[in-house]
Structure 1
Amino acid sequence: MQGVLQGFGVIGAVIAVGFVLAHTGVLDQASQLMLARLVFFVATPCLLFTLLLKADLHRVFSAGLVVALASVVCAGGIYLVLARLVFRRDGADTVVGVLCSSYVNAGNLGLPIAVYVLGSGAAIAPILLMQLLVLTPLSFAFLDTLTSGRRPSIMRVLSQPARNPVTVGCFLGVALALTGWDPPSIVIDPVTMIGGIAVPAALLAYGVSLRLGPRPLSGGSAGELATVALLKVAVQPLAAWAIARLAFGMSGKDLLAAVIVASLPTAQNIFVYATRYGRAEVLARDAIFVTTVSSVPVLLAISAFLT
């Protein structure tokens, strides 16, 4: 339980710094946009490159990956149906909403929680790599196509990942990991240093948006936001528990890891993506806020019950 509180405490502190900097006039909305662009185009590709370069890719092909993927499909699929039939969202907004409903904060929150609650960060690897190598490239392909204003072609859709800096960073990291090459310090150290900007800059930008943008829980559909939060902090972990327990017979720490990972709140970088494409920004911001707050008691309860 201490790991859950510590992980949330670190994130909350950095967001609060961004809020204070905006309140005192040190940062403004132009600064928020600049931070978001820096994170998207430079820092995040470098961070993902270094993470995947050092990752154990064999952990991708595990029962944990299947559970993670199935829980994402379950939560995101429900939102997809509701977005089209009930909320009447267009294509690009729907993609952001799907990410809000299913894309977990596996990096800056999942890793510390896994270390303190599960004793190792290895449990995060399957969903982290699945999100980076499958969910992120597919989402960007759809967003690039839907916001370009041009009729999509097969070649354009297939080539979108190669034109997106985040997915390029992912694929380069995996490619080098497969070769087993260990880049020299003079090559990898600058990339690692730049990648270290990604998480704090994204959190600062989010803090600025809380102060200068529309007030949290205002300016959007309360029903849609409640649906997204319910899918993220309740439906996704329940789906993970059912699949892990019934389909794979998981128990003990393996079952706890699968459910804890699925219970993580919406990742902050979804707000960066929404800002980059100018779609569903209020929904992304509020979903991060609500799921982060509501996931604290959920994670504490899961830790106590399954332990």
Structure 2
Amino acid sequence: MQGVLTGFATIGVVIGVGALLAHLRIVDASAQQVLSKVAFFVASPALMVMTLSRANVHDVLSSNLIASVAGAVVAASVYVTIARLVWHRSLGDTTIGALSAAYVNAGNLGIPVASYVLGDAAYVAPTLLLQMLVLQPLALAVLDADSREGRLRWWQFASRPIRNPLTVGSLLGVVLSLTGWTLPAFVANPLELLGNMAVPSMLVAYGVALRLGPGLGRAGSAAELATTSLLKLLVQPLVAWFVASVVLGVEGHALLAIVVTSALPTAQNIFVHATRYDRATTLARDTILITTVGSVPVILLLAWVLG
């Protein structure tokens, strides 16, 4: 349990630093934009290369992946249906909302939770790879298309993911993992250093936005925020539990790992994407805040019930 609390506390402190810097007027909204862009174009791709190059990509072929996919797909599909039919949200806003409802913080929070609560960081690898290689590239392709004027032809749309820096970094990491190639030190060391900047940049930028942006629930729909938060904290882990336990027959510690991973809060990089494309920024920011706070009791309860 201490690992869960430590992970959440670490994130909270770094976000608090960003909010404090904004409150003291050391930085302003332009700094938040710069930090987000540096994280998106430079630091995060470097992090993807180094993280995935060390991962065992064969782990994606597991019951963990199947249950995780089910949880994410159901949560995102429910949001998309409501957003398009009831709230009539645009394509870009709907995409960010769907990510807010289903894209878990498998990196900077999932890894410590997997290590300290589940006993092995490898438990989070299938979700990490699924999101970086499938969900994120598809979402970014849609956001890229939505941000352009006019219609994209199918080959332009299909090529978008491989032209995105995050996707390129992810694919390079997978190639390194599959081939067993090791980057020379003069390449790996700078990438490691840049990658280490990704999470702090995201979190500080998020803290700045919390302080300078509208208050929680303002400039946005309370019903929409409640929907994304409930889908993330309750629906996604429940669907993952049902598929893993009832459909696939997973039991014990393996079941706990699947459900806890699905109950992780919305990832901070969704706010980076929202800022980058100027779509549903407030919804992403507020969902991250609510699910990060709300996931603490949810994960502790899951660890107690299933552990």
* TM-score of the pair, normalised by structure 2: 0.99
Which residue number corresponds to residue 115 of structure 1? 115
In the alignment, structure 1 residue 244 sits paired with structure 2 residue 227:
no
In the alignment, structure 1 residue 56 sits paired with structure 2 residue 86:
no
Paired amino acid for 1:268: Q
Shift of 1:173: 1.2
Paired amino acid for 1:172: L
In the alignment, structure 1 residue 208 sits paired with structure 2 residue 208:
yes
Shift of 1:120: 0.9
C-alpha distance in 2 between matches for 1:87 and 1:265: 24
Which residue number corresponds to residue 286 of structure 1? 286
C-alpha distance in 1 between matches for 2:92 and 2:28: 27
Which residue number corresponds to residue 100 of structure 2? 100
Shift of 1:217: 2.1
RMSD: 0.7
Shift of 1:88: 1.3
**Residues 1-307 of structure 1: matches in 2 within 5 Å?**
1-307=1-307
Describe the superposition over 1:196-220 as per-residue Cα deviations: whole angstroms up to 9, x where unpaired.
0000010000000011111122111
C-alpha distance in 1 between matches for 2:210 and 2:73: 30
C-alpha distance in 2 between matches for 1:294 and 1:21: 25
C-alpha distance in 2 between matches for 1:301 and 1:178: 37
Q: Secondary structure at the match of 1:300?
A: helix
C-alpha distance in 1 between matches for 2:299 and 2:53: 30
Shift of 1:247: 1.2
Unaligned 5+ residue runs, structure 2?
Answer: none
Describe the superposition over 1:13-34 as per-residue Cα deviations: whole angstroms up to 9, x where unpaired.
0000001011111111000000
Q: Which moved more, 1:125-134 or 1:184-193?
A: 184-193
C-alpha distance in 1 between matches for 2:162 and 2:102: 24
Q: Which moved more, 1:11-20 or 1:208-217?
A: 208-217
Shift of 1:115: 0.8
Shift of 1:154: 1.0
Unaligned 5+ residue runs, structure 1?
Answer: none
C-alpha distance in 2 between matches for 1:147 and 1:192: 31
Percent sequence identity over matched residues? 51
C-alpha distance in 2 between matches for 1:113 and 1:218: 31
C-alpha distance in 2 between matches for 1:77 and 1:117: 30
C-alpha distance in 1 between matches for 2:172 and 2:297: 38
Describe the superposition over 1:39-61 as per-residue Cα deviations: whole angstroms up to 9, x where unpaired.
00000000001111111011011
Q: Secondary structure at the match of 1:178?
A: helix
Shift of 1:162: 2.2
Question: What number of residue pairs does the alignment pair up?
Answer: 307
Shift of 1:150: 2.2
Describe the superposition over 1:65-123 as per-residue Cα deviations: whole angstroms up to 9, x where unpaired.
11111110010010010001112111110000000000000001111111111111111
Q: Secondary structure at the match of 1:151?
A: coil
C-alpha distance in 2 between matches for 1:186 and 1:163: 25
Q: Secondary structure at the match of 1:149?
A: coil
Shift of 1:161: 1.3
* TM-score of the pair, normalised by structure 1: 0.99
Q: Secondary structure at the match of 1:26?
A: coil
C-alpha distance in 2 between matches for 1:152 and 1:260: 39
Paired amino acid for 1:94: T
Q: Secondary structure at the match of 1:118?
A: coil
Shift of 1:193: 0.4
Shift of 1:305: 0.6
Shift of 1:7: 0.8
